[in-house]
Amino acid sequence: MTVLEETQQDTAPETPPRRRHTTTWLLTVGLVVALLVLVPVAAGVGAYPIPVGDVLASVQHKVGFGGTELDRVAESVLWNVRFPRIVLALLIGASLGCAGALMQGVFGNPLAEPGVIGISSGAAVGAVGAIALGINVFGNWTVTVFAFVAGLATVLLVYVMSRSGGRTEVVTLILTGIAVNAFAGAVIGLFLFFADTAAIQQITFWQLGSLAQATWPKVLAVLPCAVLGLVVAPLYSRRLDLLALGERPARHLGVDVERLRILLVLVIALLTAAAVSVSGIISFVGLVVPHLLRMAAGPGHRFLVPGSALLGAVVLLAADLAARTIAAPAELPLGVLTALLGSPFFFWLLRRTRRRQGGWA
């Protein structure tokens, strides 16, 4: 029995299909309502406060459904500063949440997450390298392309090194992630040492993680990658459910396991690179979000994959709102805040998994 199966059995006892359907429906409605509330609140809160009613009126005016246009300053703050940041938070949160759910399904254990096992750091190395070396061969897509290639190479390395005897070992996965994170940190340090002042400021942004530099061009740069990954991922939910039964049963049921893993590894790298290329390293969203949903609605990937995207968007938008309001007028780095909140959860999960197994597997 894999660690994922043990976790699923413990966190999601067998429930009648009707009850499970009701739970997933209620969760979906609740998350959508949370987004509808958070978006106008996040748009209105800040150094230049805008009442929620004015935010809604401005949106109505823009889309041609009545409403009123605000004064020039309020319109500029709302549409050139707040809304690009909100859209980026939604895209990045959805990408990280979905990537975490996919990775836990692909690797077959609940401890896998793009940040924990080094994929985010690897993608950040690609992005930082493009910045430090002044590479611009793909225009606005340069950073995204380099982040994608580095993230893909990292996830393939982790996948190969964590395999033993036809299965993925949890301890090897974590140790590989530690090594990759350490190496990525060293490479970023070298780029910092040789970079000029302007590049150093951008590299520091990648290390801490932030949405402070959000713009519409950045939204457009990340949008195709995020949308492609988010559309493709749910198509493989049923096969992930079969894979959770074990590789041999999945093969007997017609799943090409290696092909499935390679394809989903590409999707994970695409989603992670899309997020890292504009926000820097934001850890633990992909770890915490799928677990919260798994504990609430069970391990079925038909809801878990799209649900993780939806909850990830809610969590990151709320975290970004907290990051720019808790210490106002200063702004906390978003990656630092998510790490502070996510690290205790990861420690609890490690302890809990070890107790269930009676020691490390």
- Predicted confidence at residue 12, as pLDDT, reads 43
Rounded Cα distance between 2 and 112, Å, is 13
How confident is the model over 289-312, as pLDDT tens digits?
998 898 888 889 999 999 999 999
Domain range for 248: 95-357
From the list 115, 158, 32, 82, the residue with the least C-alpha distance to 338 is 115
Rounded Cα distance between 212 and 47, Å, is 13
- Predicted confidence at residue 360, as pLDDT, reads 40
How confident is the model over 192-203, as pLDDT tens digits?
888 888 888 777
* pTM for the model: 0.86
318: domain CATH number is 1.10.3470.10
How confident is the model over 71-121, as pLDDT tens digits?
889 999 999 999 999 999 999 999 999 999 998 898 777 777 887 778 888
Check whether 20 has a pLDDT greater than 80.
no
Structure tokens at 147: 């982040």
Residue 64 in any domain: the answer is: no
Angle between helices 301-323 and 83-107 (to 10 degrees): 140
pLDDT band at 8 (very low <50, low <70, confident <90, very high): very low
Provide φ and ψ at 164, rounded to 5°.
-155, 125
Residue 56 in any domain: the answer is: no
Residue 30 in any domain: the answer is: no
Provide φ and ψ at 141, rounded to 5°.
-90, -5
Residue 78 in any domain: the answer is: no
Residue 59 in any domain: the answer is: no
How confident is the model over 148-164, as pLDDT tens digits?
888 888 888 887 887 77
Residue 215 in any domain: the answer is: yes
Domain count, the chain: 1
How confident is the model over 258-287, as pLDDT tens digits?
788 888 988 998 898 888 888 888 888 988
Structure tokens at 233: 């991922």
CB 48 within 8 A of CB 73: yes
pLDDT band at 16 (very low <50, low <70, confident <90, very high): low
CB 104 within 8 A of CB 112: yes
Residue 37 in any domain: the answer is: no
Residue 159 in any domain: the answer is: yes
